[in-house]
Structure 1
Amino acid sequence: MGKIIIGEKAGFCFGVERALRITQESREQNQQPVYILGALIHNPRVIADLERQGVKTISDLKEAEPGGILLIRSHGAGPQVFAAARERGLKVIDATCPFVRQEQNYAQELQRDGYQVLVVGDPDHPEVKAVVDTVEGDAVVVNPAQPDQWRTKSFKPKLGLVCQTTLPQEKLAAVVEALLPLAKELKIFNTICHATRERQTETAKLAQEVDVLLVIGGKNSANTRKLVEIGAAYTPTYHIESGEEINPQWLEGKKIIGVTAGASTPQSQISEVVDWLQHNYTGGITMENQVTNGHLTEEVDKVENAEATMDSEAMDSEALLLNQEIPRLEVGEIIEATVVAVDDGEIAVNVGGKSDYTIPLAELTSEKVESARELVRVGDRIKVMVLQVGEEKTRLSKKKADEELAWLQLKDAFQKHQRVSGKIIQAVKGGLQVSINGLIAFLPASHADLGYVSNLSTLVGLEAEFYVIDFDAQRHRVVLSRKEVLAEEQAAVEAKVFAELAEGQTRKGVVTRLTPFGAFVDIGGGVEGLLHVSEIAWERISHPSARLKEGEEIEVLVTKVDPEAKRISLSLKQLSPHPWSKIGEKYKVGDIVEGKVVRLTSFGAFVNLEEGVDGLIHISQLSDRRVEKPEDVVQVGQTVRAKVLKVEPEEKRIGLSIRAAQEKPKKEEPVREEKQAPVIPGLEDKPLSSNLGDLLAEKMGLDQNDRN
């Protein structure tokens, strides 16, 4: 099973597609005979098909009948052709490719600026001839294929260069390299069509992926021959105009067949070759990519609704469309144009006249962009300003139109006090620069924000709305204010918040700032209330940072609202019960408690028992000895144990005593048992107290008796 890969860029380029469409529309819309001076495109089959439709290809204007229509092909023509057609009585339709038209305009510009005009390309190619005719023959054709013919020529010091739109990029580079040593000044306009570059690049890539490459197109087509040359460098490559020219031997043993086509090859011709391959390739074949003019971008699809630019030149040299009047262009006026082509470095637009006009990237915008494709697309309707009007050149500018419209918008916004949108692009001395539709306005630092901005660079890149506070058209001075917009929006939010706010409400908020006297809390929409330091906690704190930090989300109670003064008072501590409300239940006389000394006075020490609850230890209760000063016994921050002496919740007083907590409880005297007197024989029945003398006497007597 084989496979066909069709190049996505194969087939008609934009210029050829456009020229063919204009030709067909001209034939359909008019009864007069239609003539083309030279082949419309380098494709015999297409030319033959046009002949059958009544479009006749001529080589001389004498072959055209007066009153007929002359169509200028995409290769363009010099002013002499237009003049001769007018003398012949022919109505002219200009189907010159916009990129070829640009090449002609550049050549005229170089001529006016005193450059010797060089046209790089094939001297026999109709496009190159047309460019040379545009500068009335005052140009030198530089043929890359024959360098010996021009390398020895004597050139002027100032050389200006344009090139054939289908020229390979490497050939242009080689010519430029050779010319650099020959000129004191060399100005180059790279007018190679992007579609040509893309098709050639794709062909090189395709040729490396396939076993054989078929290039479809007229044998006299230079761009088709170039594709053949590129493909042959990588794989066997064959130049054909139809499937009948294919030699089956080319395909023997080839599994992958590549197919591409030149810029003058219609889709139908590509389809014929693909159909032949599908029916004649042994073993069957699969397709990769569809048979479409893949190189025709979405720009071409969108341009289908654009009207054909069919012109005639009257005796007064003012061209008229066949079916509508051309607008008269005036320098300085702003008109609407339709984008008909887009390249990286320029675009082509149609303003309803006989020709399409190119606008370089520098005249599209004042912003830095890499490609015009970032700004517009084919089919877009844009405003342009006419900078120059003339037979040789008409210059348009989207950038100037945008600037002028921006001035009018700013003037109107200033007079009506309306907002304008813009983007801050740069910090400068004293403020910022703001781009408004390409116009640069000034934003003073004092009007950049509601408050002071220490680093203005942080605002660069911001897209915002502004009020115009100063406008001077003569001095081209515009001064903006973002601060007024923010203040207006803030006032609206504040009004809404105050309308909904009421005392007693509980709100969630975010701490925005901490000050010695309290914390500011955003309770919604940037509206701030004050949480006084005394309302943060039931206990006394020296600074809000002891309990809060910026950015913290908290819940607060609204205690007071003053809409006129725009003041809101908040409380955090009131969301919890007062600590003294249940003191009588928590502390009893005689309890031993522990707390931290928080204050010393001449009469005693205050001890914090819990948040918002302090007890007093009188100086007399600090120790069991006489105390002159409290600090002789305790220090602030010291944790102490004390005994509760009294509790008075109504007066918010608790009396404490360290001395009492330190006293040891008195021990009870044990009951003494009377000892029984020893029993003395003979005295058992006598009390000891009454017989003591007798006892002694008897004792003494006994002793005496013993001595005896």
Structure 2
Amino acid sequence: MQIIRAKHAGFCFGVKRAVDKTLQLAKEGKKLCTLGDLIHNTIFVEYLKEKGIRSVESLLEVQEGECVVIRSHGVAPECYEQLEAQGISYVDCTCPFVARIHERVSREKSCHDAIIIIGKAEHPEVVGIKGWAGEHAYVVASPEDIRHLPPVNTALVVCQTTIRQELADALFSEIQQRIPGAELFNSICETTRQRQEETRLLAQKSDAMVVIGDKKSSNTRKLYEIALKFCNNTQYIESVDELLLEKFLNCDIISIVAGASAPDWIIREVETQMSEFEHAQVAEEEVKAAEEQAEATEAAVEAEEAAAVEAEDQDKNDENTDFLAELEKTFVKIRRGQFVKGVVVQVSDDEVCVNIGYKSDGIIRKEDLTAEGDASPADMFQPGDEIEAEVITLNDGEGNVRLSRKKIESQLKWKELIDNLDPEKTYECKVVKVIKGGVLSKLEGYDAFIPASQLSLKYIEDLSVFVGQTLEVKIIDIDKRQKRFVLSHKEVLKAQQEEAEKKIFASFEKGAVVKGVVKRLTDFGAFVDVGGVDGLLHITDISWVRIKHPKDVLQENQEIEVKILNVDPEKKKISLGYKQLQPRPWDLVPEKYLVGDTVEGKVVRIAPFGAFVELEPTVEGLVHISQVANRRIEKVEDVLNVGDVVNAKILEVNGEKRRISLSIRALLDTPKQEAADTQDDAAEESSYSGKKRDREERISYTLPPVEEAKTSLADLFPKMDD
């Protein structure tokens, strides 16, 4: 089997450029989101999510602080305008070939009656081109679409970069018949054209084709259509899990092509899986050929031996011929490769002599008793024992039949091994050689193959690192005809990992405090390694103060102590808390803020009865309206605004009720002409300091007669509502 990988398989220039730039920015700590999926590949989009790079469909979904990545498909000019208007930072990863189309249609839209785009109207690249082409832009994907075009004299025709060249040529020919003055700008990407041409050539000479890419990918779908046109045995897969190896039986040439959005690691996994299958096929054919060669050699030797016996018989005297012929009839007939039974007549240190009912005794040499060839004949057999052996040759040069127990011992051992085989048992084997698709080893003396995909929990590029290592393995397949095993080290590692995780989860108790290392930061929290497993530290459990991102408090590889909030061994989930081990801001207030101290804070809210000043996140103090200025004021807004930074004196601190009373007036000079007002304000301050300021607060007043209060009640009593 010959496996051919297309030269132009995988990421094209534009996609690779966008992917590399995005991953580099993420590595630098940028908070990113892509406007639409970065590439049309679900597996890779999930990979980006794990990196903290999410996908949004509109700019309304962009969060504060995020940088928008414009993918290689490009966008309409309105999108850039919205980004600028909303002050959103962005990185433009538009493919240069797509940007070239934008520039051309934008420059020439005023020179033509229409801009015609050959492509799919819903494709993001076409949507972007149409935005640059203006109001007289039309998208066509079939002759029917062309028939619905309005009557025009001139038109510029451009193509979606991933459209099939044959389709573009056919549609442009139709357009020319309707609009003779149409001008074609063949904007199909050269890499796309080469990829499609290479797919066609490979499909014409291949017995099977594998097309790799997301089912939503437009360019991959076109590759599949081309391949299927010339090769009926074509598979369209997104990952190695969908590969049907049985379709490759009796195939000599298999080709692999991949769309522009197919990650290289998926292509390598498919190649590896196919190589493993190819190795198994080749090994089976080699064994079959060897068996056929052995049978042919055996037949030739038997023919020679028969001719020799016949010649010997012809040389004997006539009188002996008849006697020997009669005697010959009393002996059993044997041939090379036959299994015969006999009785041990003699045992020495080097061999066993066996009567097999033939005209000559059979001899089993020491090296032929077992597969290893080091067993003592006297330890295994005694005269009179029944024995079975294989005929190796009818004459060993001394007139004896040469016998061997190796094959029988091997079969008995194989049968015993298979009968007692435990699929859950773990064996040990030593890796001896790297071959295509995996490594070779020996298990209980038999050939064993470990595929590359079964060597580790992760992808290993260089398999030579395993040579000489003794690995713990499990048997995942048996070739009984060839007496060969297929082993897996990965299954053992998975079992060990699961067992270790069970022990770790069993050791955790809700409420316990453990040490951990921050492994990864995401928008919604941090993943912390606590003894070999990752627990989720949600953003709401990082700090008592509301934070925008975990990186505001934590860093990757930082060692921290966390509290176990919840453990779910079945789902292998651990919820952690960090703030629960930190003091609450109000717990430190009585020690941190003392009566008489001067503090600085920012006005965060204004109410009719005063202003709330933030001294630190979650800690606020109240400046009563009487303490705002050194004169009587009607409204707090006459002096203060939200966002003002002010200095104030602490009048009272109540940690239990979480209340701090502040005074700005205490730090201001008191004008002489307002001394009387000041005395009244002091009395009002004394009255307020013992009252509640929450929604349940009630303040007692002495009311004047109802008749007198009718016109002044609203003026005297402002609403006490936060």
TM-score w.r.t. length of structure 1: 0.39
Which gives a bigger RCO, structure 1 or 2 (Cα 8 Å, sep 6+)? 1
Q: Whose helix fraction is larger, Structure 1's or Structure 2's?
A: 2
TM-score w.r.t. length of structure 2: 0.38
Greater CA radius of gyration, 1 or 2?
1
